[in-house]
Structure 1
């Protein structure tokens, strides 16, 4: 098993390599990750909706030792990553992070949200700082409204912003 400090570096280098093969190769990889992640979260979303997402990311917060705040109500889930452990580890290594490193989160989460009828707003904020905010809504109008407040809004394969 690869230690987490090495795993994020490995991931970063895979992203860099795939980017040299073309944007389609990188996005295909993220879609493959998304398909794999469905085994872990799809049933929770389909049966418990936003509460299932909250349950899933509450476990991730502990497992990955994330400095993350989760806020949940009947209309939306917000994940506020105060210090992303993944990007932090990449920044701490001697190799520069791939410019689009943070897009991998939207690349796997977004397609699942689309598949389940939820609407995600992914605000990277600043690609050089290990923080972001993800908001997931039932109501597409509320998602469009939240997009207006995003500093650096990211989409994902197959998704159109706005």
Structure 2
């Protein structure tokens, strides 16, 4: 088994390789990850909505030892990653992060949100800093309003920002 410190560096290099093969290869990989992740989160979303997402990411917070805050309201879930363990590990291993490294989160989460009728606003803030803010809304108008406050808004395969 690959330790997590090495795993993040490994998939950083996989992302670089796939990007060198063309944008379609990288996005196809992220869509494959999204399909796999559906086994872990899709039922929670379909049966419990935003509360199911909160339950999922609360578990991830513990499992991955994330410095993140989760805030659940009636109309949205906000995940504030204060220190991203994934990007931090890539940077701590003296690896040069792939230019679109942070896009892998939107690449797998976004298609699931589209499939379940939720609207994601993913603000990377700065690709060289290991923190971001993810907001998920049921109401598309509230999502569009939240997009206006994003510093570096990310899209995902099959979705256009804005």
Tell whether the structures are fold-level matches, with TM greater than 0.5: yes
Give the 3-state SS of the residue equivalent to 1:40 in structure 2: helix
Q: Does 1:76 align with 2:76?
A: yes
Equivalent in the alignment of 2:156: 156
Give the 3-state SS of the residue equivalent to 2:70 in structure 1: strand
Equivalent in the alignment of 1:131: 131
Q: Does 1:146 align with 2:146?
A: yes
Q: Does 1:105 align with 2:105?
A: yes
For residue 93 of structure 1, report the CA deviation from its aligned partner.
1.2
Counterpart-to-counterpart distance in 1, 2:95 and 2:153: 25
Equivalent in the alignment of 2:20: 20
Equivalent in the alignment of 1:3: 3
Counterpart-to-counterpart distance in 2, 1:51 and 1:39: 17
Cα displacement string for residues 17-56 of structure 1 (whole angstroms, at most 9, x for unaligned residues): 0000000000000000000000000000000000000000
Give the 3-state SS of the residue equivalent to 1:78 in structure 2: strand
Counterpart-to-counterpart distance in 2, 1:25 and 1:33: 13
Q: Does 1:67 align with 2:67?
A: yes
Give the 3-state SS of the residue equivalent to 1:95 in structure 2: coil
Q: CA RMSD in A?
A: 0.4
Counterpart-to-counterpart distance in 1, 2:87 and 2:161: 24
Equivalent in the alignment of 1:30: 30
Q: Structure 2 regions of 5+ residues with no counterpart?
A: none
Q: TM-score, normalised by structure 2?
A: 0.99
**What stretches of structure 1 move > 4 A for 4+ residues in a row?**
none
For residue 95 of structure 1, report the CA deviation from its aligned partner.
2.0
Give the 3-state SS of the residue equivalent to 1:109 in structure 2: helix
Q: Structure 1 regions of 5+ residues with no counterpart?
A: none
